[in-house]
Each structure stands twice: as C-alpha cells, then as structure tokens.
Structure 1
C-alpha cells in the first residue's frame, strides 16, 4: 500500500473479527517496525508488552476494567481483538543517557527537559505499529489505561516500577464497525492549527 493511502485510511478501529488470529510473523513485523521509531539520544527508553494468548488478553481486560466508568459498547467490541500491545516508557533510561559524557549534562535533573520525550518517543513507536497494521489491512486502536487501574495492570503482568504504560493498541482484522460520535466534530481548519512564520490568531490577516 502506498504511504499516502495508509495515511488516508488510518483511523481508530474498535470492532474486530474474533475468529481471525494474526499470523505470528505479522505480529513480529508490527513490533519490529515500532522499534524503528526515533528516540532522543537513541535512548530507546521503551518496552512493549505483546499479548496474543487468550488468557493473557483476558487478564489484561480484567486488570484494566474501570468499574466506575461508563458501559461503553466500543470497549466491549475491542475485547475481540486478537492482539494487544501495551506501550511503556522508561524515564530513567533518558535521564541516564543524557548524564553521559557525550551529551554534556552532568546530572539527571528532569527540569532540563522541555517535554517528556520518554513518553513522546514511545508514542512515536506505537504510531508506527498502528500504521503498519493499516498497511497490512488490519484495524487498530490506540487508547489509554484508566489511571486508577495501572497498579492492577502492573501486578497482573509483573511490570517493573520504572516502566509507565502510556497506552495500548488493539489490533486485528476488521469487523463491521460503528462510526465514532467524535468524528462528527470534523477536522479543525488548517488555518487554525498550522502557523507559518508567526503565530496567527483565527481570522487574522
């Protein structure tokens, strides 16, 4: 598939065919493409928990279910996905990397960072996995874990304390899906979000 077509077709898919597993070689390809993402200082402060076994996927949904959240049919539909990839960032890998001699910093002071690149880079990797899924005619959705359920998720999978889950991808062959109500908002006008040369307010000449 041409890259332009991948971008055009990209969307969050929430309904999957439960009877079509993803071939192992394709799971490997999706993950390997994610590892091609850029990272500050080539720190690669990320890890990915890949869940394909039914028992592991059931454990994920059980650990992360938000009992106080709304009864969302989209979440119920996503449980059919044969693949879940949880993206986790490791801030300490970045603080350690930039305290090394070739980077010029002599300490691990987090205040030096204008943005949390450990989360940003991990998000880049997740996006590459998402786009790879689209390229392979698969559906995919990136979503966050309920904050209150993160400890239960850690316990369920033995995740070390230094790794923070920034989100998860469900991936699978598409089933008939519902159009998300959020899409009714439409794309924001280019003039509102793209600024050339200087920041321009809406309607400014």
Structure 2
C-alpha cells in the first residue's frame, strides 16, 4: 500500500472480528515498527505491554476502565479486539541519558525539557503501530487509561513504577462499526492550521 493511502485510511476503529486473531508475524511487525519511532537522544525510554490472551485482555478492561455506564457502553465493541498493546514512557531513561557527557547536562533536572519528550516519543511509537495496522489490513484505536484507573492497572500487570501508561492500542480485523460522531465536526482545512513564515 502506498504511504499516502495508509495515512488517508487511518482512522480509529472500535469494533473487531473476535474470531480472527492478529497473526504473530503482524504483532511482531507492529512492535518492531513502534521501536523505530524517534526518541530524544535515542533514549528509547518506552515499554510495551502486549495482551493477546482472552484472560489478559479481560483483566485489562476490568482494571483500566471505569465502571460508569458511558465507559461500559463504549467497551461493548472495543472488547472484541484480539490484541491490546499498552505503550508506556519512562522519564528516568531520558533524564539519565541527558546527564551523560555527550549531552552536556550534568544533572537530571526536568526543567531543561520544554515538553515531556518521554511521553511524546511513546505517542509517536503508538502512531507507528496505528499506521502499521492499516498497512497490514487491520484496524486499530488509540485510547488512554483514565488517571483514576492507573493504580489498579499497574497492580493488575505488575507495571514498574518508572513506567507511565501513555495509551493503549487495540488492534484487530475490522468488523462493521459506525463512524465516530466526532467526525461530524469535519477535518479542519490545511489553510486553517498551517502558518507559513508568521502566525
């Protein structure tokens, strides 16, 4: 598939065929491509939790999502995903890396960073998984773990304290689903969001 087609076809898919698992070689490609994302100082301070078994996925949904009616309604179709990959960032890896001699900072002071690149890099790795899924003929959706569920999620999967869940990517073969109501807002035209030379 041409790259422009991959980008054009990428959208959040929220309903999957529960009877078609993601082939192992595609799971491997998703993860390999994720690790090709850029990372500041080549820190690579990310970690990916791969959940393929029904038991692991059910434990994820139970631990990482609120019990509210709104969430439970949203989950009806999302629960059909045969694969969930949770992307994590590790701030310490970046602070340590930039305290090394070739980077010039002699401390681990977070104020050197204009934005949390550890989170941004994990987000870019997640985007590469989304694009890889499209290229492989699958659907995927990126979504977050609500703050009030992070502790329960960590405990359920033994996530080390230095790793922060940035978001999960559900992956599978698309089943019939409806487009998000948010799409009615329409895509902003390029001219509205791009500023050349001066804002």
Q: TM-score range by the shorter chain?
A: over 0.9
Match of 1:175 in 2: 175
Is residue 65–residue 71 contact of structure 2 (8 Å, CA) maintained in 1? no
Q: How does 1:154-173 map to 2 (within 5 A)?
A: 154-173=154-173
Match of 2:14 in 1: 14
Is residue 36–residue 125 contact of structure 2 (8 Å, CA) maintained in 1? yes
Match of 1:57 in 2: 57
> Residue 70 of structure 2: SS of its match in structure 1?
coil
What runs of 5+ residues in structure 1 fail to find an aligned partner?
200-205
Shift in Å at residue 69 of structure 1? Answer: 5.7
If the length of structure 2 is used for normalisation, what is the TM-score? 0.98
Q: Which deviates more, 121-130 or 70-79? A: 70-79
1:45 aligns with 2:55: no
Match of 2:191 in 1: 191
Shift in Å at residue 75 of structure 1? Answer: 2.2
What runs of 5+ residues in structure 2 fail to find an aligned partner?
none
Query: Take 2:189 and 2:114, find their aligned partners in 1: how far apart are those partners?
Result: 28
Shift in Å at residue 56 of structure 1? Answer: 0.4
Instruction: Supply the RMSD in Å over aligned alpha carbons.
Output: 1.0
Shift in Å at residue 72 of structure 1? Answer: 5.2
Shift in Å at residue 73 of structure 1? Answer: 3.4
Report the number of matched residues: 199
Shift in Å at residue 101 of structure 1? Answer: 0.3
Query: Take 1:147 and 1:154, find their aligned partners in 2: how far apart are those partners?
Result: 11
Match of 2:81 in 1: 81
| CA shift digits 1:4-27 (9 cap, x unpaired) | 110110000000000001111111
Query: Take 1:85 and 1:2, find their aligned partners in 2: how far apart are those partners?
Result: 25
